Structure formats: structure tokens, C-alpha cells
Amino acid sequence: MEGKYWRLYLLTLVLGIGGSFQFGMQVSVIASPAVHVQSFVNRTWMCRYGVPVANSTQQFIWSFILAVLSLGAWAGAIHSGSLPVTYGRKKVLLFNNVVAIAAAFLMLFSRTAKSFEMILLGRFLYGYNVGLGVNAHLMYVGECSPKNLRGLLTLTPSIFIGLGKVVGQIIGIKEMMGTEEMWPHLLAFGGVPALLQLVTLPFFPEAPRHLYIDKGDTEGARKALQWLWQEEDLTQEVDDMQRERESMLGERKTLKDVLRSPCVRWQLLTLCIPCAGLQFCGINALYFYIFDIFRDSGVPEGQMSYLSIGVGATELIAVSLSAFLIDRTGRKKLMGYGYLLMGLTMCGLTVTLSIKHLGFWIPYVNIALIFFVICMYGLGPSGVSMALPADLFLQAWRPSAYVIGGTVNYLGMFFIGLCFGYIVDGLGPFCFLIFVVYCFASAAFLIRYVPETKGKTMVEIMKDFNKLNYRNTASVEKTDIQLATKL
């Protein structure tokens, strides 16, 4: 990586703190104070109604506390298709930080107000923050990066998500903030990264491609590029932006266009299946209920927090490693074989959870399999899936593609968070077979149908997708500059 891009790297760090880091932290941080939050719900119920909350009601409230983050993220993802285009990536992120800070205050004072509804509202606002923030992060960094760094930098959201999970697990241990006294402060900690981004982001320019293509500000785009890249000769980059702007013909593709247009049908499938796979591969189910899985595997209560930190660190290392493998191995192989290995491992996990009482060594096998699943997820589906909208769709299609990808991802996350507790109660160790089916189906689709893009030009990739999009027509050479893709 060239030293002259240090300002771009610093911008990437600032962008990651407020959105992707926040996402990872909110996924993991809720597991540590689960017992304390459920006890708070019960006490609040007793104060209001004079009777303990029913077990079924408490289970539903807790499941909804987990799942409401996803509903907020869905709302944020929906707005990520219009707000960054209208107001710019930078202004939207600044507003988004205010949302997270408001959520932090709700969390902080929820116990004082004796209101678990404030936790629900705070989780929803945190969700909105990450749903809008992650997509804006991807747009911003992708539109600021030179071609030789674009692939690497568009993977940074996955790295920051992994880092956020580790930090959430660390601050959630009982020696830090995972106690009865400190849990409101733990849940409010999400306001800290939002405040850091709110203070630092104003020093950076708006995304150059947004300025040039969406706003027509040629001079502003050139100045932004010169500041970020510290280069004087930007002729090639400006020419590329000009060609992309001319190809749009003044149009911006709507959700309806993306869903109905045959010219991006296979790009849409290639986006939606991995985005759904981020949830239905079972990864967030593991994070939501990882303490229950460790407990079921026989792990002593005092060691579970430290094991969960190890799980988060494993994902972070694997995602970081995928950034260096992606251009050598290709995204098709990392995603496809990643899902395949995850499916095979969860088959083994189902078996070992079912026979955990037959030997003292079986719980250790369970833990090893969990670590292996996390590793395969980080190496393949996690890092690759996050960057797909920027890779498969150009500027005219991209905002709507982010909305679709976010909708699939976060609604799947909501379903898992709300229902997985009941699925575990009903199926026991066989609950992971649901995720096995999706992993195998995703692997088959990606390996069998999705074109390999490693080492190919944009024209070659476009022709590969057109062979699928127009395979029932007379000509597969039909092209449209708006369809150009680059994995």
C-alpha cells in the first residue's frame, strides 16, 4: 500500500468506526448482559403489574430485544438508497451519528426510568444507525478509492464488523462492564464510536464520484481526489467518471428497475443469495446464543466470556486474511467453498451436540467446530458478500442494489433473532440442520452458476453475465455499459 494514500486510509478508519464497527459491537455486546436485562424486565413487570412476567412473555420480550436491531437496520438500509444520493455520503453519516448518540442515552437511562421499552427503542435506533451507516460506508470508501485499492478497501467494513464484535465481547466480560451495576453503560457504549466519527468526519471531503456523477461538481470532485490521493494528474480517473456519468443518461435506476430488468437478473441473484446467506448460514444465531451453545457443550460458566472473545478474534483474523486472498483466489471460490465447508462443519456440530454425554472430550470437539465455522465464514461469505453491491452494479444501479441487499440481510437477521430461541427449544441440537440446507444450496448456486471474475476485464465479466441474462435470446453479445461488473 502506497504511503501517499495515508489520508484515504485515515478516512477508511473514520468511516469504519461509526457504522461497521458499531454493527459488529451491537451484534455481540447484547449477549453478555442477557441475564441482567432479563432480570430487569422481570423487576419492571413486577413493579407495574404486581406479578412476575410469564416465561413465554419474557422469552418473547428478550427475542424481540435481539431482533429489533434488525428492523432498525432494515429501515436504515431502505433510506440508504435515497439519502446518500440526495444529501451526500458525508452529511448522511454525520446525521446518522446523532441517531446512535440518542440510542445511547436511551440505553443509559432505561434502568433509572424503569422502562425496558427504552431498550427496545434504543436497539431500534442502533439498528437504523448500522443499516444506514454500513451502506454509506461502502459507498463512500468505494467512491474514494483508486482502482488498485478498491477491492481491498471495500472489504474493510467486514474487518470493522469483526473488530466491533471482539470489542463488544471484551467490554462485556464481568471484569469490565458485564455486571448488574454496569449493564446500562455497556449498552450505551455504542455512543462512543458515533461521537468519534461525528467529531472527525467533518475534516474529510465528500465522495468524489458523488460530487461528479450525482451533483455535477467537476471542480469539487477533482479537489477531493487531489486531497485524498495527493496526486496532480487525475485525467484517467476523471475520464472514467465522465464515461460513467454519460452512460447513465441522466437516469437513476429505481428498486423497480433493478427487480424487473432482465439485464441485471443474474447480478441480482448473485447479490441476494449471499446476502441472505449472511443470516441463514447460522452465523448470527451462533453469536446471539453462543453462551447457550457453550453451556450446552459443558463449558464452565466462568470461561464462556473468554471463549466468546476467542470466537470474535477468530472471525476478525479470518476476515483480515480474506482481504489478501481475494485477488488471488477469486470471490466465487471463497464464497462457494466457504458455504460448503460451513455446511459440512455444522453437520458435524449437530452430531456432536447430540452425543455430548458419551465422552468427556466431545464438548471440546463442539467448541473446535464452532471456531472452524467462524473461520470459514470470515474467510469467505463475510468479507465477500459485503462488497457485492459495489462490485456488481455501477453508479446508476448501486443505491437500489444496496437497499435490496440490506433488506434481504436485515429481514433475515430479524427472523433469526426472533425465532431461533423457539427453534432451539423445539429442535435442540438439530436446529443447525436448517442452516446446513441453506449453506449447501448457496454453495451449489455459487460454484455451478456464478461466473468466475478473477483476472478478467470489465467487458469479459459483462459478457459472462449476459450469457446468463440473455441465454434464451438470439444474441448473448448484447451489452449495456450500465451492466459492467467487476468482482
The verdict on 264 and 164 lying in the same domain is no
The verdict on 150 and 264 lying in the same domain is no
Model pLDDT, residue 363: 76
383 assigned to some structural domain: yes
The answer to whether 169 and 310 have CB atoms below 8 angstroms apart is: no
Query: Total domain count for the chain?
Result: 2
Please report which helix (H) or strand (E) contains residue 146, including its range: none
Report the range of poorest mean pLDDT among 178-182, 276-280, 391-395.
391-395
Model pLDDT, residue 107: 96
pTM exceeds 0.95 for this model:
no
The answer to whether 107 and 187 have CB atoms below 8 angstroms apart is: yes
Select the more confidently predicted residue: 215 or 133. Answer: 133
DSSP 59-98: HHHHHHHHHHHHHHHHHHHHHTTTHHHHH-HHHHHHHHHH
Identity (one letter) of the amino acid at 278?
A: L
Return the C-alpha cell found at 119: 431498550
Whether pLDDT at 293 is above 80: no
Q: pLDDT digits over 413-463, tens only?
A: 888 777 777 777 777 778 778 889 889 988 998 888 777 766 554 556 667
The verdict on 168 and 310 lying in the same domain is no
Position 296 confidence tier, pLDDT thresholds 50, 70, 90 = low
215 assigned to some structural domain: no
240 assigned to some structural domain: no
The verdict on 189 and 328 lying in the same domain is no
Select the more confidently predicted residue: 241 or 208. Answer: 208
Domain boundary (165, 185, 204) is at 204
The verdict on 200 and 258 lying in the same domain is no
Cell 461497521 belongs to residue = 20
Residue 82's CATH number: 1.20.1250.20
Instruction: List the Cα angle 402/70/279 in 5-degree steps.
Output: 75
What mean pLDDT is predicted for residues 30-56? 89
What mean pLDDT is predicted for residues 170-176? 88
C-alpha 111/C-alpha 305 separation (Å) is 24
Average confidence score pLDDT of the chain: 82
Q: pLDDT digits over 246-266, tens only?
A: 766 556 677 788 888 887 788
C-alpha 213/C-alpha 88 separation (Å) is 12
C-alpha 5/C-alpha 21 separation (Å) is 22
Q: Please give the torsion angle defined by the CA atoms of residues 305, 55, 414 and 154, in that order, rounded to the nearest 10 degrees.
A: -10
Provide the percentage of residues in the chain whose pLDDT is more than 70. Answer: 88
38 assigned to some structural domain: yes
**Residue 118 DSSP symbol:** H
45 assigned to some structural domain: yes
End-to-end, the C-alpha distance of the chain in Å comes to: 20
Domain boundary (204, 228, 243) is at 204
Whether pLDDT at 126 is above 90: yes
- Residues in Cβ contact with 127 at an 8 Å cutoff, skipping those fewer than 6 apart: 26, 68, 69, 70, 71, 72, 73, 74, 75, 76, 410
326 assigned to some structural domain: yes
The verdict on 42 and 178 lying in the same domain is yes
Which of 26-30, 146-150, 203-207, 270-274 is modeled with the greatest confidence?
203-207
Model pLDDT, residue 404: 87
319 assigned to some structural domain: yes
Model pLDDT, residue 254: 76
- Residues in Cβ contact with 366 at an 8 Å cutoff, skipping those fewer than 6 apart: 293, 297, 349, 352, 353, 356
The verdict on 21 and 121 lying in the same domain is yes
The verdict on 166 and 286 lying in the same domain is no
The verdict on 178 and 323 lying in the same domain is no
Domain span including residue 475: 254-487
212 assigned to some structural domain: no
Instruction: List the Cα angle 126/166/155 in 5-degree steps.
Output: 80
Position 481 confidence tier, pLDDT thresholds 50, 70, 90 = very low
The answer to whether 331 and 339 have CB atoms below 8 angstroms apart is: no
What mean pLDDT is predicted for residues 42-61? 89
3-state helix, strand, coil in the chain (%, to 5): 80, 0, 20
Model pLDDT, residue 96: 94
**What Cα–Cα distance (Å) separates residue 372 from each residue in 187, 310, 338?**
29, 12, 11
The verdict on 263 and 188 lying in the same domain is no
Select the more confidently predicted residue: 473 or 205. Answer: 205
Whether pLDDT at 206 is above 90: yes
The verdict on 172 and 267 lying in the same domain is no
Identity (one letter) of the amino acid at 392?
A: L
The verdict on 417 and 284 lying in the same domain is yes
Whether pLDDT at 468 is above 70: yes
Q: pLDDT digits over 62-104, tens only?
A: 888 988 998 999 999 899 888 888 898 999 999 999 999 999 9
C-alpha 261/C-alpha 269 separation (Å) is 12
